[in-house]
Structures are given as C-alpha cells and as structure tokens.
C-alpha cells in the first residue's frame, strides 16, 4: 500500500489546477503586460486569481502580491518591511521556532543594522502574549510569529499576540508565516491584526513555484526585485501566469470544502495518536488535550532507540513516505531547533518523524502505517542496542 504522509512538505497538484495551467501554457500564453488580446487574456488569469485568494482572506485584490512561493513571500515581508520602516527603529522580533525561511531572513537583517530577538515558546510550542509584549520597544518595527508550526502543528493565537504587540506599540508591523495554515483555517487578517501574511501554493494542492504575500493596504514595503514595475512596482518581473492561475484554482477548491477536509484530517490524526499512545516506545510531541487546538494535518512523533533517518527509509521500503523534519532544511541537516525549543529530550532529538496528512489520505493508510511501525521499530531499536 502506498501512503504519502509528507503533505506538509508538498502536496499533489489537484486536477483542476493542472488543467488550467495546461490551458494557459498551450493556449492563453501571452505576456500579461502585452497590449494585444493574448496579453489581456493572460492578465485576466492574474485578476481572477487575485480576486479568488483575496476573497478567502476577506481582503481586497490589491492587497495580494504573487510570488514564487513561501520563501520569497517571507523574505519580501521581513526584509522589505524592515528596510521600509528603518527610520522608525531597528529592532525586530520573531518566535524561537520559526521556519528557516523566516529565521534566516531575520538574521540577515543584522547586516543592515537591526537588532534581532527571538521570543521563547513553551513545551506546547506557544508564545505567551505577555512575554512577547514585554520584548516590544519603542524602536521595534516588525514582529513575525508563525501561524502553524511546520514540524509540530502547534497553532498560535495570532489575534491575541498581535493585539498585545500593537497595544504596546501601534506602529509595529505584524507578520505571520501562514504557509501551513492557509487552506486549513479560515484566516481573516484584518480581524486578527495581521499586516503581512505569507502563503505557498504547493502546500494546498497548487503548483510549486507559486505563492503570495498579503500586504494590508497602507503597509510600507520596500521591493526586493526591481525591473519593469509589475504588480504595482512591488514585485517586478513577468508574472508566472500558469502558476498563478493554478494557485487561484487550488485555493478556490480547497476552501470550497474546507470543513469536510479538516474534519477528515483530524480523524486521521486522532486515529494515529490513539494507536501510538498504546506503544511505550512512541512519544507524540506537542499535542494538546483537545486535538483541535493543534493543526489538523501535522503530527510529530519521537521513537525510542532508532534514528529518524533509519526509520524513515525503513518505512519508505514499505511504501510509506514521511519526513524527519522540515523538507526545506534538508540541504542543511542537523538537529531541529523547533524540537529543542519545545523541550524534546536530547536522546529523542534525532529520533523524530513528522507525519502530515491531506484530505486524500485514508484510515486504512493510517492503520497500515501503524502496523508497519509495530513491526519495524522494535526490531531496529533492538539492533541498535547491540
């Protein structure tokens, strides 16, 4: 049985997105900046996608900037915002367990004279609004807090965090990496106090190389890419129309049956948690008493006596695809900062896998995975002790 449980790394592109992308590439292939009919046809795909994703966020189409994915969206938000507001201050804050696409751009701001601080999280991966507010100063210009953690599925109370920050300093720009949240939650940036929000298309059954940044009207951003002035001078370069069209269709589809999809994923996650809780050598990380206080699709599990990479490949031989952490960190392997931040014991840091679901997964696949774990872990851990 084939079981793809690595949906937090990437998802299969939905058929509707594939179809519209093929049509754009084969038929409506004009440059959206061209003034003839082919250009107008291409531009309409961008307008339609803008309207679609804006509607999912209760936003305006003009607040959507299309990018090449989550990493660019985060870089644009963090570096672009910090540089645009440097005259107001040089202090920025992020949480202690951000994705590298936030953590590294934040560190890069030190080269521009910014002071970078990281607010700690508790053992469930949550940021305390009071602790965050204590760190905000008059010279703070930017705060970035991940909506859903990509390794553990911990969900932040973004509205409470933003409120605490802006109560201390109303001028602070609040950014959230929502790459693992968009398509799983109904997000309303204006109600939640989010000025900048990053999204990646390939996490929600859209194509790789697609994404967008929501930038609330009036939020100052310095462009990172200069050229022909596309997208209102905020991100130059000929737009990737096929990817943008595919992202728009994927977003429309995933929000059309969001409640049904998330309920199914919570069911899969609950089934795996219940089965693993009966095994002495399996330890579920950072799942609250009410499973719905965590993300529906991500589950982090540590296993006694076996390295994550060994178990990953043992499961792969049985048709089960999982991850040993963030796929985006695979080029720089090491111990997860997220697991350290939530207090996972040292002996388990290199023995942790991430299982991540989508609406296409089944209970039968989960049960098969559990049986494979029962067969595999005791054997490999016994071997490792010899």
Tell me what pLDDT residue 336 has.
67
Distance between CA 10 and CA 52 in Å, rounded?
Answer: 22
What SS3 class is residue 92?
strand
Q: How does strand 282-285 pair with strand 352-356?
A: unpaired
Closest CA to 150 of 361, 322, 340, 298: 298
Which one of the listed residues 3, 328, 358, 369 is annotated catalytic? 328
Q: Which residue has the tokens 């696949």?
A: 365
Look up residue 39 and give its two tokens: 């250009």
Contacts of 313 (CB under 8 A, 6+ apart): none
Q: Cα(157)–Cα(304) distance, rounded to whole angstroms? A: 32
Round to whole Å and give the CA distance between 67 and 76: 9
Tokens at 62, concatenated:
């003009």
Q: Are 213 and 76 in contact (CB under 8 A)?
A: yes
Which phi and psi (to 5°) does residue 294 adopt? Answer: -120, 170
Give the list of residues 6+ apart from residue 150 with CB closer than 8 angstroms, or none.
8, 99, 179, 180, 298, 326, 338
pTM: 0.95
- Tokens 């990493």 belong to 71
The answer for residues whose C-beta is within 8 angstroms of residue 299's C-beta and 6 or more apart is: 153, 269, 272, 273, 284, 287, 354, 355, 356, 357
| Nearest CA-CA partner of 95 in 141, 63, 126, 65 | 126
How far apart (Å, rounded) are the C-alpha atoms in residues 29 and 23?
8
Instruction: Report the alpha-carbon angle 159-162-167, nearest 5.
Output: 120
Which tokens belong to 286? 């950072």
- State the pLDDT at residue 79: 98
Distances (CA, A) of 251 to 200, 244, 298: 11, 11, 20
Query: Do residues 328 and 154 lie in contact, with contact meaning Cβ atoms separated by under 8 Å?
Result: no
Q: Residue written as tokens 């507010």?
A: 133
Per-residue pLDDT tens listing for the chain (386 residues): 899 999 999 999 999 999 999 999 999 999 999 999 999 999 999 999 999 999 999 999 999 999 999 999 999 999 999 999 999 999 999 999 999 999 999 999 999 999 999 999 999 999 999 999 999 999 999 999 999 999 999 999 999 999 999 999 999 999 999 999 999 999 999 999 999 999 999 999 999 999 999 999 999 999 999 999 999 999 999 999 999 999 999 999 999 999 999 999 999 999 999 999 999 999 999 899 999 999 999 999 999 999 999 999 999 999 999 998 644 544 444 566 788 888 788 888 889 999 999 999 999 999 999 999 999 999 877 655 44
- Where does residue 69 fall: left (phi above 0), alpha (psi -120 to 50 degrees), or beta otherwise? left
Q: Are 56 and 64 in contact (CB under 8 A)?
A: no
Q: What is the DSSP letter of 117?
A: E
Q: Backbone phi, then psi, for 140, in 5-degree steps? A: -75, 130
Domains observed in the chain: 3-11+258-385 (3.90.1150.10), 15-256 (3.40.640.10)
d(CA 121, CA 199): 23
Instruction: Specify whether 328 is catalytic.
Output: yes
């Amino acid at each position: 049985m084939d079981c793809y449980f690595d949906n937090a790394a990437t998802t299969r592109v939905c058929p509707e997105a594939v179809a519209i992308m093929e049509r754009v590439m084969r038929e409506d292939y004009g440059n959206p900046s061209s003034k003839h009919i082919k250009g107008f046809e291409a531009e309409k795909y961008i307008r339609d996608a803008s309207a679609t994703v804006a509607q999912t966020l209760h936003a305006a189409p003009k607040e959507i900037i299309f990018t090449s994915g989550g990493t660019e969206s985060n870089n644009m938000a963090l570096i672009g915002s910090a540089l645009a507001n440097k005259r107001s201050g040089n202090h920025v804050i992020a949480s202690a367990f951000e994705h590298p696409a936030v953590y590294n751009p934040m560190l890069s701001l030190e080269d521009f004279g910014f002071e970078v601080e990281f607010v700690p999280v508790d053992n469930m991966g949550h940021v305390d609004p009071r602790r965050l507010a204590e760190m905000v100063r008059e010279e703070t210009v930017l705060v970035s807090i991940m909506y859903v953690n990509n390794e553990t599925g911990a969900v932040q109370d973004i509205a409470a965090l933003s409120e605490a920050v802006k109560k201390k300093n109303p001028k602070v720009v609040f950014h959230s990496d929502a790459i693992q949240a968009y398509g799983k939650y109904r997000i309303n940036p204006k109600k939640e106090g989010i000025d900048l929000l990053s999204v990646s298309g390939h996490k929600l059954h859209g194509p790789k190389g697609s994404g967008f940044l929501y930038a609330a009207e009036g939020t100052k951003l310095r462009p990172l890419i200069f050229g022909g002035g596309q997208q209102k001078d905020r991100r130059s370069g000929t737009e990737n129309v096929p990817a943008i069209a595919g992202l728009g269709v994927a977003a429309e589809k995933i929000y059309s049956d969001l409640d049904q999809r998330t309920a199914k994923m919570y069911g899969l996650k609950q089934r795996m948690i219940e089965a693993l809780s009966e095994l002495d050598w399996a330890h579920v990380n950072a799942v609250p008493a009410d499973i719905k206080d965590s993300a529906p699709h991500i589950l982090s599990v540590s296993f006694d006596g076996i390295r994550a990479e060994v178990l990953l490949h043992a499961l792969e031989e049985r048709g089960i695809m999982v991850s040993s952490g963030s796929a985006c960190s695979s080029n720089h392997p090491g111990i997860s900062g997220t697991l350290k931040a939530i207090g996972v014991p040292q002996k388990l840091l290199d023995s942790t896998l991430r299982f991540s679901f989508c609406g296409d997964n089944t209970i039968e696949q989960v049960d098969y995975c559990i049986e494979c774990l029962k067969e595999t872990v005791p054997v490999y851990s016994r071997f490792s002790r010899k």
